[in-house]
Amino acid sequence: MNSRIAVVTGGLGAIGLATCRALAQANFKVIAADLPASQSRWDDIQMSMKNLNIHFEPVDVGDFRQCTQFVQQVQSLHGPISVLVNNAGITRDAVLKKMEPHEWDAVIAVNLTSVFNLCRQVVDGMSERGYGRIVNISSIIGQTGQFGQSNYAAAKAGMHGFTMSLAREVARKGVTVNSVSPGYVKSAMTDAVPQDLRDQILASVPVGRIGQPEDIARAVAFLCAEDSGYITGINLPVNGGLFISF
């Protein structure tokens, strides 16, 4: 049987790349989607993944028209998309009284509107074929809030609201929709946090370590598995016990 096609947005970032690897190891044909400017990064890393079925396709996920063209291109070249992992994300941190409209708009576009842009393109095909897996990468910040991140927290909380609603729409059509909320994970975003603040964060994590991208990728691969079809509409926290809710 041919491998199912999985698309991972933000596919060349830390969590995205780990997710691409995990899905490829689970016998998916993976499309790592990222900004066109990421082509040079792909050129640098693709040789290290030559034994994995991973391909790069550029797209600006905040642009609806580009997303339409991207999905058409992927399905023309590779086949119908069975799995979509909405992982693309950015931060533009500022306290609200200093936050500029463009900082709000950019974060909402990449972190939240992109989920609509891509789900809108793939959900009908998944429903018609009677099979699909959508996983949206939210954040612990969407559950707890964070000083100076009202834009990011709003986007990530909104992502799970979207997840629950779409899950209800397509549950009887063989399509599951779930979100994963990472805690603090080693990435370019967390590496940019001042060291003293990173030390405080580490001290507050009950398991005693910061998360690794592979911790998130394993959770995503679980939700994308064919035999995970009875799990939909959930938010799966992967945060080392930093935030525990009922």
Catalytic residue positions?
152
Amino acid found at 171: A
Question: Helix 114-129 vs helix 64-77: angle between axes, to the nearest 10 degrees?
Answer: 40
List Cα–Cα distances, 151 to 45, 56, 111, 145, in angstroms: 32, 29, 10, 10
Say which residues have a Cβ less than 8 Å from residue 210's Cβ, sequence separation at least 6. 184, 185, 186, 190, 198, 201, 202, 240
Closest CA to 22 of 202, 217, 182, 162: 217
